[in-house]
């Protein structure tokens, strides 16, 4: 890289060299396997390459101290056991060109990030605590890259939205972001403690910090995949239980897509054969399952596929009776390009919110169950779009 095509920033994290608008891999913490992450001492960092681990990527209109651009911090999804900040669907150029500093963070996933041990603090997960350290890094350093640390919007999608909501809990929230966009938040239906025995049997080892750290990575991954297959209509790992009453009082947009898990293999198998809805309803613990199935069939014949999406995602949106609601068209992850890549109405609503504007549609409340629906291709306010879900779960 020539001197004219690189930028070097001096900041509390060290001396960081990147491209004029991109710093692709900045380490924000270090960790030993299954141990808590630790902050780094100031370093000389070449951030031009692509590295996985406890790194963040930063895109900026101008790496100039005092520019005070609004900041977006994005947490990727991946079911708590996969995913990466390097995702073409969330490429930050469009937001950057509109004057935002965009930070995308990686965190530990799988057992290293979300297995729980006897000495873990209540409601703490290593993968989520990694994100806490990344947000602290942003607070201490973002001014030197042109961002305003007092104007940070956290955006998460799927498992990333679950993490973002968890970071908003009163026992986690420290003011590192001012507002939140939770796109299709997902959580497991059972706590880790209820599944620990199944994991022990799948691994053939005790579920302790020392034991898991001593297993070769390939064997650990094979055992984890054996365990995760038991929860093929659920998430094998993740924070739980989610309680919206424990959230700090900050501005929130929360959303889902209409047909979240239509592509799920189990749902497709049952729906193509026209049976299994009653069995799935018992599995997911639906109340008034006859009513739910009847209402779902009015939409189309993918009842089980809809039920899976409602059980792992839309139920949590329906429980969050606060903030502003949005409903996107399509399946799980179809919202990402609308928010990040396209000159869409959804993008402009999110961008305006991230600049500090109040959303233009009514806030959701128990008395006024309003949501902005984009399902028809044009934005319109609808009433209680998740009524079927709200009454079933």
Q: Which residues pair with 16 in a beta bridge?
A: 9, 45
Q: Residue 270: its pLDDT value, please?
A: 79
> Is residue 274 within 8 Å of 301, Cβ to Cβ?
yes
Q: Tokens 């396997």 map to which residue?
A: 33
Residue 110: helix, strand or coil by DSSP?
helix
State how far the Cα of 178 lies from the Cα of 221, in Å rounded to an integer: 37
pLDDT at position 193: 96
Q: What is the DSSP letter of 229?
A: G
pLDDT lower than 70: segments of the chain:
1-4
The encoded tokens of residue 61 equal 């209109």
Collapsed DSSP state (helix, strand, coil) of residue 185: coil
Going by C-beta distance under 8 Å and a sequence separation of 6 or more, which residues neighbour residue 369? Answer: 383, 384, 387
Among the listed residues 267, 363, 254, the one whose alpha carbon sits nearest the alpha carbon of residue 313: 254
Q: 349 to each of 324, 355, 359, how far by Cα in Å?
A: 11, 10, 7
In this structure, are residues 103 and 71 in contact, taking their beta carbons and an 8 Å threshold? Answer: yes
pLDDT of residue 93: 97
Task: Say how far apart CA 127 and CA 112 lie, in whole Å.
Answer: 8
Residue 334: partners with Cβ closer than 8 Å, 6 or more residues away: 257, 328
State the pLDDT at residue 86.
Answer: 97
What is the length of the chain? 393
pLDDT tens-place string over residues 135-186: 999 999 999 999 999 999 999 999 999 999 999 999 999 999 999 999 999 9
For residue 262, the model assigns a pLDDT of 87
Dist. CA 59–CA 19, nearest whole Å: 9
d(CA 1, CA 88): 23
Q: Return the structure tokens found at 206.
A: 């005790």
Structural domains in the chain, CATH included, are: 3-258+328-359 (3.40.50.1820)
Count of Cβ atoms closer than 10 Å to residue 307 Cβ: 31
> What pLDDT is attached to residue 4?
56
Please state, for a pLDDT cut of 70, what percent of the chain lies above it. Answer: 99
The SS3 call for residue 269 is: helix
pLDDT of residue 288: 83
pLDDT tens for each residue of 286-304: 888 899 999 999 988 889 9
């Amino acid at each position: 890289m020539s001197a004219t095509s690189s930028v070097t920033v001096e900041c509390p994290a060290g001396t960081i060299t990147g491209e004029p608008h991109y710093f692709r891999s900045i380490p924000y913490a270090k960790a030993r396997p299954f141990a808590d992450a630790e902050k780094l001492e100031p370093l000389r960092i070449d951030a031009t390459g692509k590295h996985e681990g406890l790194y963040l990527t930063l895109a900026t209109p101008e790496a100039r101290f005092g520019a005070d651009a609004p900041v977006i911090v994005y947490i990727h999804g991946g079911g708590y056991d996969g995913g990466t900040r390097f995702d073409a669907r969330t490429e930050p150029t469009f937001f950057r060109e509109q004057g935002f500093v965009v930070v995308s963070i990686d965190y530990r996933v799988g057992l290293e990030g979300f297995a729980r041990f006897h000495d873990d603090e209540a409601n703490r997960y290593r993968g989520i605590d990694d994100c806490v350290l990344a947000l602290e890094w942003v607070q201490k350093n973002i001014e030197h890259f042109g961002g305003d640390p007092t104007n940070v919007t956290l955006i998460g999608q799927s498992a990333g939205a679950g993490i973002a909501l968890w970071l908003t809990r009163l026992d986690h929230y420290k003011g590192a972001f001012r507002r939140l966009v939770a796109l299709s938040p997902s959580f497991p239906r059972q706590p880790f403690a209820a599944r620990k025995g199944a994991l022990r049997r799948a691994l053939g080892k005790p579920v302790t910090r020392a034991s898991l750290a001593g297993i070769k990575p390939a064997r650990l991954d094979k055992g984890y995949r054996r365990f995760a297959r038991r929860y093929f209509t659920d998430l094998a790992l993740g924070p739980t239980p989610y309680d919206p009453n424990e959230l700090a009082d900050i501005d929130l947009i929360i959303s889902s897509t209409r047909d979240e898990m239509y592509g799920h293999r189990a749902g497709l198998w049952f729906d193509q054969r026209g049976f299994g809805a009653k069995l799935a309803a018992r599995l997911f613990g639906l109340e008034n399952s006859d009513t739910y199935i009847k209402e779902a069939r009015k939409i189309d014949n993918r009842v089980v596929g809809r039920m899976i999406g409602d059980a792992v995602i839309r139920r949590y949106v329906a429980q969050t009776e606060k903030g502003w609601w949005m409903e996107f068209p399509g399946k799980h992850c179809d919202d990402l390009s609308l928010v990040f890549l396209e000159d869409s109405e959804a993008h402009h609503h999110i961008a305006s919110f991230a600049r500090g504007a109040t959303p233009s549609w009514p806030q959701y409340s128990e008395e006024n169950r309003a949501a902005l629906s984009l399902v028809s291709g044009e934005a319109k306010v609808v009433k209680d779009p998740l009524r079927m879900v709200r009454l079933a779960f």
